[in-house]
Structure 1
Amino acid sequence: MDRKIDLIQYLPPFMRQYLPLKLVTGAENKIFQDALSELKKIDNNEFIQTADSNGLKRFESMMGIISYHEESLDTRRNRILAKWNDELPYTINALKKKLDIVCGEHQYEIQCKFSEYQMEIVTHLKNYGQIDEFYNIVDYMIPCNILLSIINTLTNEIDMSLYVGGVVSVKSKIHMKVR
């Protein structure tokens, strides 16, 4: 909720009518409004979920994450959250929690065949940086003795009309011989 600064309301009612005081408080309203906006930005940058680009850059620096120029804020935020919420020991449930953050809840399928030391993960990643973060998570969470198969499938939906027409033309020649 944004607060509207109106300093003239803090003056006694009989002083509010004087033009010099109206002009001074009107000019100061802008300064105080800008200061309040900056305080709101600082407050938002304290938390990963509400941080802007500068706030995310600070979190990335703290955790040693390298961001790519083309990444969206949501992708950067998810990468930070994945590392922030890192927990030991690495279990299948911990892996699923991480993949929920990076891929989206239940936007992947995991098939485990631990008796055969195999695991298959099917994802649907399409944003820049998501695949790199996915590989980072899989690289340090899955033991080296597990044969891992990763499949990333993408689907495209096109919203358009398609008109199909057809014509059938029959032409026949009749040959007649006159006798």
Structure 2
Amino acid sequence: MRDIKSYWIEAIQEIKEFQFIAQIEDEELSTINKHIKDLISDQFIETATEDGIARREKMLKLVPFADDTLESRRFKVLSRWNDNLPYTYRVLVQRLDQLCGKDGYTMELNQGEYTLKIKVELTVKRMEQEVNQMVHKMVPANLIVTVELRYRQHKELKRYTHAQLRAFRHRELREGDLKL
């Protein structure tokens, strides 16, 4: 944005009082421009500011944890924002695509055994919990639902020695079944 005094005639631009007025007006105009940009950003959950997410959290009666980041708060709001009945398999896939991305999860539905297994590529524990809550809310009660991280975490491997783990490739350690 240009300085406000650049719009004035030269005779006024040189007067000290008007220079002071221009400085104050420029600060006010930049504050107004920032508020306008924030209002535009707050229209969408993906780009919302702290205030925009706080407003939606209040509407949804969500209480963020003290150590939640803006991104995790956005994720939680997004997972609750589009709660519409009826829930179908297609709607579940759309919601998971929206939250995790198309390649951010795998889902196996075994209709014969009434099981649904979802593995998500999320590293933040609370995001995994949010997906778990959403899925349990959406799927029928007669399905056994399992939501877990897609890749094996270090805490699962620390009970083995390095000599035992050396027999496997990195991908097998991360995704495969360990038969030691």
Shorter chain as denominator, the TM-score bin is: 0.7 to 0.9
Q: What's the counterpart of residue 44 of structure 1?
A: 41
Indicate which of 113, 128, 133 corresponds to 2:130: 133
Look up the equivalent residue of 1:97 and give its one-letter code.
Q
Offset at residue 41 of structure 1 (A): 2.4
Q: Does 1:85 align with 2:88?
A: no
CA distance in 1, matches of 2:114, 2:121: 24
Determine the C-alpha separation between the residues in 2 that align with 1:43 and 1:70.
Answer: 26
TM-score (norm 2): 0.73
Q: How does 1:26-175 map to 2 (within 5 A)?
A: 26-154=23-151
- 1-side partners of 2:127 and 2:36: how far apart? 32
Aligned letter for 2:38? K
Larger Rg: 1
Q: CA RMSD in A?
A: 2.3
* Shift in Å, 1:155: 5.4
Residue of structure 1 in register with 2:177 after alignment: none
Q: Tell me if structure 2 keeps the 8 A contact 1:82–1:102.
A: yes
After the TM superposition, list the runs of 4 or more consecutive aligned residues in structure 1 that deviate by more than 4 angstroms: none
Asked if 1 retains the 8 angstrom alpha-carbon contact of 2:121 and 2:150, the reply is yes
Unaligned segments of structure 1, at least 5 residues: 158-179
Tell me, in whole angstroms, the C-alpha distance in 1 between the residues paired with 2:76 and 2:34: 27
Identity of aligned residues (%): 25
Q: Distance in 1 between matches of 2:17 and 2:55?
A: 44
What is the CA deviation profile of residues 8-37 of structure 1, one whole-angstrom value per residue up to 9, with x for unaligned ones? 123224432333322321232223222322
Paired residue total: 154
Equivalent position of 2:13 in the other structure? 16
Judged with a 3 Å threshold, the aligned counterparts in structure 2 of structure 1 residues 121 and 143 are, in CA distance, closer, same or farther, namely same
8 A contact 2:136–2:145 mirrored in 1: no
Could you report, residue by residue, the CA deviation over 1:113-168 in whole angstroms, capped at 9, with x for unpaired residues?
Answer: 113322221222211420221111111111111122333243579xxxxxxxxxxx
Aligned position for 2:3 = 6
Larger deviation: 134-143 or 12-21?
Answer: 12-21
TM-superposed deviation, 1:48: 1.6
CA distance in 2, matches of 1:16, 1:141: 65
